[in-house]
Amino acid sequence: MESRELWAEEAESEVVRDWHDALGRVELDLQRAVAQIDPVPWRPPIALGPIPPELVERAARLLEAQLHTIRYLEDVRQTTAKHLAAVRSVPPAEPGAHPVYFDLIG
């Protein structure tokens, strides 16, 4: 094998390794978001170049998982906002016993 071909093959394997690492970090960030662990601010990878063809399917699955997680977190946010609104609608406590009712369905 010529040195030029060997160099190209080594460069290609380095690109694939770099992309594997980058996708692995994104997957870990996604797992942390779902597990409600303090997220680390995302920083896009630098100088990776085009994604290797063998990693396109993995990246597509990861994108779909991210979109699903965004929808899930938005649903949780909306539910939490409704619960907070219900709690805030209760007037402050006054002296003496007063019954308090929460409408959790409406």
Q: Does residue 48 contact residue 22 with C-beta atoms inside 8 Å?
A: yes
Return the axis-axis angle of helices 3-34 and 56-88, rounded to nearest 10°: 20
pLDDT of residue 71: 92
Model confidence band, residue 40 (pLDDT cutoffs 50, 70, 90): low
pLDDT of residue 61: 92
> In the predicted model, is pLDDT for residue 48 greater than 80?
yes
pLDDT of residue 74: 92
C-alpha–C-alpha distance, residues 24 and 18, integer Å: 10
Enter the DSSP assignment of 55. Answer: G
* pTM of structure: 0.58
How many other CB atoms are there within 10 angstroms of residue 97's CB atom?
Answer: 6
Mean pLDDT of the chain: 81
